[in-house]
Amino acid sequence: MKKITAKKATKKRSRASSDRGSGKRQVPALTSGATPPAPAKVRVATMWLSGCSGCHMSFLDLDERLVELVKLVDILHSPIVDTKDIPQVDVGIVEGCVNNNEQEHELKKLRARCKVLIAFGDCAVTGNIPALRNQFQLRDVLLRAYEQTESTKISCIPNDPVVPVLTAKARPLQEVVKVDLHIPGCPPDADVIWYALTELLAGRTPQWNEKNLRYD
């Protein structure tokens, strides 16, 4: 897998910023007592597609390690950040599989705007629970959900154009876009998430083995 290019991105950003304005390279004034500029952080977006949010909850289980993490990364787009559009980022982290046309559109947009894309959790990696519907025809799935359930009072398969259209199959990310790293688990354990992120931030590719993928 391509190493996380945060260092390259940092170099590029600082070069662009130093060339800005007069066209001459600006050297920061480092007089006695001046605070040196903080290194640029890795820009991150997380996305929640068809999943139960358990993977994002596991991310929050990093607990006090989140404090360490935010020294190194900026989370610019996420279900826990109130932004409407996806900015250019270094890393995209995606929970859940692709179940409808809107999710496919959003995933492709994130892929175009990030350097490293991570399939985060088993739904993103294999389709997992949402892909159980794949053994049935789409029409039967819709009939069961909207007309045949015991609790249904008014039968109506949604057809308003604002409602995302269910795709024929639920698909793991790699069936829709190129994925750079898979983090398996339902959900991935916080220690596994920490290991994967810190390896990437160090410019290394996480190595999965029997030890860090044990679930018992």
Interface residue list for ligand SF4 (CB under 6 A)? 51-52, 54-55, 95-96, 121-123, 128-129, 186-187
Q: Which is nearer to ligand SF4, 4 or 123 (CB)?
A: 123
- Least Å from the CB of residue 189 to ligand SF4: 11
> Quick one: tokens of 46?
């997380």
- Least Å from the CB of residue 17 to ligand SF4: 38
- Least Å from the CB of residue 80 to ligand SF4: 15
Q: Which is nearer to ligand SF4, 72 or 141 (CB)?
A: 141
Q: Which is nearer to ligand SF4, 129 or 190 (CB)?
A: 129
Q: Which is nearer to ligand SF4, 123 or 173 (CB)?
A: 123
* Nearby residues of 37 by Cβ (< 8 Å), 6 or more positions away: 28
- Least Å from the CB of residue 22 to ligand SF4: 50
